[in-house]
Amino acid sequence: MRLQNVRVMGPTGLSLPTSIEVDAPGAVDRDASGLILSPGWLDLHAHLRDPGFPAKETLQSGATSAAFGGFTHVVAMANTDPVTDRPEQVRALIARAAGLPIRMSFVAAVTMGLEGQTLTDAVALQRAGAVALSDDGRHLMDLVTLRRALTAAAEAGLPLLIHAQIERLGDGPESEAAAVTQALEALAAVPRARLHVQHVSTRASVDLIRTAKRQGLPVTAEATPHHLALTAAEVVALGPQGNVNPPLRSVDDREALRQALVEGVIDAIATDHAPHDSGAKAAGANGFHGFETAVPVVMGLGLEDRVLYRACVERPREIIGQSIDEEWILIDPAAEWIVDASSFKSRGKNTPFSGRRLRGRIVMTLCRGQVVMERVMQHA
Ligand code: DOR
């Protein structure tokens, strides 16, 4: 397929309009004036609820939603039912994912049942195809267990992803800082281990991670679109709809995250896509739908295009050691739309952006050289 007059997003930002041939046999040529072609975004952090919670999401509904959101590759967390803590489960998930419109990778649990006690078999999970280990959603490991987990992950050559919260300390900034401090301490004691801090939400965490990076520790970090865009003040009116873990923080925390992204202290943007059915959400469940609002929310942050490329295309793949396979997205950066959750392809309609006017929309998604989503644009 030939795209005419398109701007291409790459490591140095956006190029001038050019014509480009994209390997998608059978797809029709098009004038892409005003559009941006970006390598498909990879989301390092998604809850796909499969197996166990089909009212919230399935691999199929999650993959379709991701394609509409501009993600050609998503990484599923292990807090399913049953928890992904055994190699045969990883193999079964990978087999099921082969038929999906986008690519999917799987994280396996660090501890059996996410209970923070007995370690899973990291080497066997890696051999089965897991790309990382994480107990995300929980963090029950003490320092000794964390050190043993990092040792096992290092032996398996996998990064350890942590949900940085000491549960008994609640979900305030000090709980997150204590968890980051503990994990960095464990990391410093384990040769060849790699640590990735999930959904960083505070200035204090950013400062700890910056210092650790300066000391040469192999730590990486992610922030979510909602922590980068919103603050606690803005979601008060949402009631239970505003519940998320970690909670939305202060303006100062949000500014620290944005600055850290520019510096590269925060490596990646990851959605923490956490779909819930309406009953669970009304009853207080934590988490937001992430996929279908991420691109415009992130583009609305006013970051340089080279920073977006690094945080959404390049670093997420480096962190889990994945290459790109004919994955592209075509974005209309000028398209404005009002978020109507009922139109989401995801089963999770729980968004804090409901009713907001966003700018930027995915026009087309290609994965493995196939067009997997094409939106008919109203104003085109
Ligand atoms: O808000 C959240 N929801 N944070 C998490 O860490 C877990 C997630 C979920 O699984 O719903």
pLDDT of the chain, 380 residues: tens digit per residue = 999 999 999 999 999 999 999 999 889 999 999 999 999 999 999 999 999 999 999 999 999 999 999 999 999 999 999 999 999 999 999 999 999 999 999 999 999 999 999 999 999 999 999 999 999 999 999 999 999 999 999 999 999 999 999 999 999 999 999 999 999 999 999 999 999 999 999 999 999 999 999 999 999 999 999 999 999 998 888 888 899 999 999 999 999 999 999 999 999 999 999 999 999 999 999 999 999 999 999 999 999 999 999 999 999 999 999 999 999 999 999 999 999 999 999 999 999 999 999 999 999 999 999 999 999 765 43
> Of 43, 57, 79, which is best to mutate to test ligand 1, by the most ligand atoms within 8 angstroms of its C-beta?
79
Encoded tokens for 150: 């990092």
Where in the sequence numbering do the catalytic residues fall?
272
Atom 2 of ligand 1 has which residue's CA nearest to it? 287
Domain count across the chain: 1
56 CB under 6 A from ligand 1? no
Q: Is residue 90 part of a domain?
A: yes
- Residue 136 alpha carbon to ligand 1 centre in Å: 8
Q: 10 Å Cβ neighbour count for 255?
A: 13
171 CB under 6 A from ligand 1? no
C-alpha of 237 from chain center:
26
For ligand 1, what atom is nearest to the CA of residue 288? 1
243 CB under 6 A from ligand 1? no
47 CB under 6 A from ligand 1? yes
Q: Is residue 173 part of a domain?
A: yes
pTM of the model: 0.97
163 CB under 6 A from ligand 1? yes
Atom 6 of ligand 1 has which residue's CA nearest to it? 137
Atom 4 of ligand 1 has which residue's CA nearest to it? 245
Q: Is residue 176 part of a domain?
A: yes
> Of 136, 138, 197, 273, which is best to mutate to test ligand 1, by the most ligand atoms within 8 angstroms of its C-beta?
136
The domain of 246 spans: 40-324
The enclosing domain of 303 has a CATH number of 3.20.20.140
Atom 3 of ligand 1 has which residue's CA nearest to it? 287
Q: Is residue 273 part of a domain?
A: yes
79 CB under 6 A from ligand 1? yes
Q: Is residue 294 within 8 Å of 69, Cβ to Cβ?
A: yes
- Residue 305 alpha carbon to ligand 1 centre in Å: 29
Q: In angstroms, rounded to a whole number, what is the distance separating the alpha carbons of residues 228 and 240?
A: 20
Q: Is residue 338 part of a domain?
A: no
287 CB under 6 A from ligand 1? yes
Long-range CB contacts (within 8 A, 24+) of 118-123: 119/145, 119/148, 119/149, 119/152, 120/85, 120/86, 121/86, 121/87, 122/152, 122/153, 122/155, 122/156, 122/158, 123/152, 123/155, 123/156
Instruction: Compute and round to an integer the Cα radius of gyration of the chain.
Output: 20
Q: Is residue 347 part of a domain?
A: no
